[in-house]
């Protein structure tokens, strides 16, 4: 297919030029675009380690290390099937959560109005609420697959309703997601309340903590994909899903999680979904030794792109 794709390495060194995700063209008019990468530089919703507002910039920089022409793990040449651009960063209003959510939703809605799919790069997990609001306005309630170390289903945190640890509950309460067809995968670590998992299940979510997911493997993801069927879906990946030995620079790290190989295998298990959107969130660059976490996040974003490409035809 003809369309937008990355500038090939044979046309210049990857370290040169303006840094966009995978060296994609920076385009803000979405005619003839299938997927638009949108940075969401917001971290007012973080409770502990701030700095994720610089996550989009770091992930774009880290993406220069990737070789995007062909994904052998998913057996797809992504840009033979998708026209993809980097739409730049959505506007945010520093220090104002509600106004920032509205501004991000507006930017993402422009992508949906062009019948393209936004791929968000955060920013803390609060940004996912703006993404789900925009996607649900275009497509109705979505099935959600959330890969992360925490449910993000708290009722509030510090008397605040809109922070990264409440985003999934708010999405369910607002009717943006159909919790009965949604799953929260990979939870671990201490809880703010003994019944935190049960409260998420009471909302309708399937909750599979990491100890169970580690034993059951990709079959859990396949079952969730089968349950979703042909419905529109959204995949959100909080990089704290990865064990901090593989992705240390996150807002709330939890030890004892999957290796990068295990986590990527589980994310690739989402093949078959009709994605209305997806994101990767919570990279805190100033804590990132050797840019390792940003490289993990860039790889996740590329795998999400590959899932979208596989949905456009039969992969090998």
Count structural domains, the chain: 1
Q: Considering the domain boundaries, does residue 303 fall inside one? A: yes
pLDDT for position 11: 54
Q: Considering the domain boundaries, does residue 2 fall inside one? A: no
Partner residues linked to 38 by β-bridges: 120
- Please tell me the distance from the alpha carbon of residue 235 to that of residue 44, in angstroms, as a whole number: 22
- Please tell me the distance from the alpha carbon of residue 258 to that of residue 37, in angstroms, as a whole number: 26
Closest-CA residue to 34 (of 85, 89, 108): 85
pTM equals: 0.94
What is the chain's length? 316
Q: Considering the domain boundaries, does residue 4 fall inside one? A: no
pLDDT for position 83: 97
pLDDT for position 163: 67
Q: Considering the domain boundaries, does residue 316 fall inside one? A: no
Phi/psi at 238 (nearest 5 deg)? -85, 125
Q: Considering the domain boundaries, does residue 153 fall inside one? A: yes
- Please tell me the distance from the alpha carbon of residue 15 to that of residue 77, in angstroms, as a whole number: 23
Task: Say what the alpha-carbon torsion angle 202, 205, 209, 215 is, to the nearest 10 degrees.
Answer: 120
CA dist 285 to 55, 70, 107, 269, Å? 6, 28, 24, 28
* Average pLDDT by stretches of 10, the chain with 316 residues: 70 74 95 97 77 95 95 96 97 91 97 98 94 98 97 72 79 96 96 90 96 96 96 97 97 95 98 97 93 98 97 71
Q: Considering the domain boundaries, does residue 287 fall inside one? A: yes
Where residue 254 sits, what CATH number does that domain have?
Answer: 3.40.800.10
Q: Considering the domain boundaries, does residue 3 fall inside one? A: no
Q: Residue 82: give the domain boundaries.
A: 9-310
Q: Considering the domain boundaries, does residue 48 fall inside one? A: yes
């Amino acid at each position: 297919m003809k369309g937008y794709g990355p500038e090939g390495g044979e046309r210049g060194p990857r370290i040169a030029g303006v840094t966009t995700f995978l060296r994609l063209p920076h385009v803000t008019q979405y005619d003839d675009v299938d997927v638009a990468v949108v940075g969401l530089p917001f971290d007012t919703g973080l409770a502990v380690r701030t700095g994720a507002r610089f996550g989009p910039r770091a992930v774009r920089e880290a993406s220069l290390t990737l070789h995007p022409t062909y994904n052998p793990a998913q057996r797809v040449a992504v840009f033979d099937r998708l026209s993809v651009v980097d739409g730049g960063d959505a506007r945010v209003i520093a220090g104002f959560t509600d106004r920032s959510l509205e501004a991000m939703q507006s930017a993402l809605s422009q992508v949906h109005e062009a019948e393209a799919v936004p791929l968000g790069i955060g920013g803390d997990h609060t940004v996912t609420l703006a993404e789900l609001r925009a996607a649900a306005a275009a497509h109705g309630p979505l099935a959600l697959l959330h890969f992360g170390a925490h449910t993000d289903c708290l009722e509030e945190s510090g008397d605040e309703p809109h922070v990264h640890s409440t985003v999934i509950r708010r999405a369910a309460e607002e009717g943006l997601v159909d919790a009965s067809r949604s799953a929260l995968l990979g939870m671990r670590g201490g809880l703010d309340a003994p019944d935190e998992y049960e409260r998420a299940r009471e909302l309708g979510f399937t909750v599979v903590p990491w100890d169970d997911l580690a034993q059951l493997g990709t079959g859990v993801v396949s079952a969730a994909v089968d349950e979703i069927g042909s419905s529109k879906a959204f995949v959100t990946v909080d990089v704290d899903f990865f064990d901090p030995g593989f992705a240390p620079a996150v807002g709330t790290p939890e030890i004892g999680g999957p290796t990068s190989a295990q986590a990527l295998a589980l994310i690739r298990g989402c093949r078959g979904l009709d994605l209305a959107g997806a994101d990767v969130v919570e990279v805190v660059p100033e804590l990132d030794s050797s840019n390792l976490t940003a490289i993990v996040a860039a790889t996740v974003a590329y795998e999400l792109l590959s899932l979208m490409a596989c949905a456009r035809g039969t992969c090998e």
